[in-house]
């Protein structure tokens, strides 16, 4: 987003051992700690970070096994660029992460918030995550069942208290993915993507076709960074899609009818965990009166391509981004009684 102040100390860790040493040293000294991957899903306060930032920059992709029966198991260092790994998987004919093409950031961040898009989540392919457990002071491997994956969440995202600072307990060092050597995508589960591919939902297509279609969808929404396009100066979707109980969704539906008319549009609903309903944050923002480009010509504005993206128009600070986020959140709350939750990590900031 190109906002935020400096770190008091920055350590670039190029091996897993350097990551562990830097984290242990900061924790032993009681120093505030921020573990940073690609930084694409972070908004830092204009005042900066008053502690140690450990930037994970280790590299390495190891194919542990690859056969038609057992599938492909690939162990990837946390500092690898995520989209480079997706591109290799597509080129090698490994299915399972092709719909996650174009997502910025590093591999280590993907299981933390269970990165997902276009009908796929990394939870579907993560086999295990090698971590540094800051609470127990040891290397610990978490298998997929240990990770507690849910919509944009995992136990890796949960926090611990260290010298008054609430920061993640686990620092991701490596992720092992279980992929399938099919050459064809997983069944296309997203309607817009299926239309772009001219196939029915549920069909499979060559991996390269799936990747190209996903990247096209992301570009149309301003979700692929282009230096001269301020619509892409964002951290992607600023709010997660609300997951509501059945009674809460009934209230939303009633308030939507009151606001938009009994014959007006109804809130979208998608399958979610048992007894809950997921709806669209973008729909709520738009129907609450915040159109694409809202905030222009201010320093921060909603993208002209996607209402879920809060963008830096070139001169914004973190305070401008948060002011717009609050305006949108309050507007949606007043219109529909739903409180939106930020998707990026806010460092030194709070909505």
pLDDT tens across 294-329, in order? 999 999 999 999 999 999 999 999 999 999 999 999
Give me the residues of the chain with pLDDT under 50, please: none
What's the whole-model pTM score?
0.91
Positive/negative CA dihedral, 313, 314, 320, 321: positive
CB of 23 within 8 A of CB of 162? no
Non-local (6+) Cβ contacts of 350 within 8 A are: none
pLDDT the model gives residue 190: 87
pLDDT the model gives residue 161: 62
Clarify whether 248 is annotated catalytic: no
pLDDT the model gives residue 166: 66
Catalytic entry in 18, 216, 248, 343: 343
Distance CA(123)–CA(150), nearest Å, equals 8
DSSP 65-82: EEETTTEEEEEEETTSBH
Catalytic entry in 152, 169, 186, 211: 152
Clarify whether 234 is annotated catalytic: no
Clarify whether 59 is annotated catalytic: no
Catalytic entry in 101, 185, 237, 303: 237
Q: What phi and psi, each to the nearest 5 degrees, are found at residue 238?
A: -80, -25
């Amino acid at each position: 987003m190109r906002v935020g102040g400096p770190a008091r100390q920055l350590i670039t860790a190029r091996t897993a051992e350097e990551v562990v040493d830097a984290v242990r040293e900061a924790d032993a000294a009681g120093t505030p700690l921020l573990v940073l991957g690609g930084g694409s899903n972070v908004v830092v306060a204009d005042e900066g970070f008053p502690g140690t930032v450990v930037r994970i920059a280790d590299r390495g992709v190891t194919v542990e096994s690859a056969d038609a029966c057992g599938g492909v198991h690939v162990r990837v260092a946390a500092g690898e660029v995520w989209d480079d790994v997706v591109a290799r998987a597509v080129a090698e004919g490994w299915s399972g992460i092709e719909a996650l093409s174009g997502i910025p950031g590093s591999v280590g961040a993907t299981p933390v918030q269970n990165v997902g898009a276009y009908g796929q989540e990394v939870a579907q392919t993560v086999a295990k995550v090698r971590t540094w457990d800051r609470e127990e002071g040891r290397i610990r491997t978490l298998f997929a069942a240990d990770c507690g994956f849910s919509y944009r969440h995992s136990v890796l995202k949960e926090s611990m208290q260290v010298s008054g600072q609430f920061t993640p307990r686990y620092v991701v060092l490596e992720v092992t993915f279980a992929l399938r050597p099919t050459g064809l995508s997983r069944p296309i589960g997203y309607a817009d993507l299926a239309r772009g591919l001219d196939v029915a939902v549920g069909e499979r297509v060559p991996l390269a076709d799936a990747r190209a279609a996903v990247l096209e969808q992301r570009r149309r929404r301003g979700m692929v960074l282009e230096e001269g396009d301020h619509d892409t100066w964002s951290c992607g979707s600023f709010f997660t899609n609300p997951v509501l109980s059945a009674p809460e969704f009934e209230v939303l539906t009633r308030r939507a009818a009151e606001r938009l008319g009994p014959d007006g549009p109804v809130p979208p609903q998608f399958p979610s965990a048992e007894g809950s309903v997921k709806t669209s944050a973008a729909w709520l923002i738009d129907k609450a009166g915040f159109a694409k480009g809202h905030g222009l010509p201010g320093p921060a504005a909603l993208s002209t391509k996607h209402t879920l993206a809060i963008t830096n128009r070139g001169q914004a600070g973190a305070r401008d981004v948060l002011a717009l986020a609050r305006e949108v959140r309050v507007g949606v709350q007043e219109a529909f009684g739903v409180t939106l939750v930020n998707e990026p990590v806010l460092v030194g900031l709070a909505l």
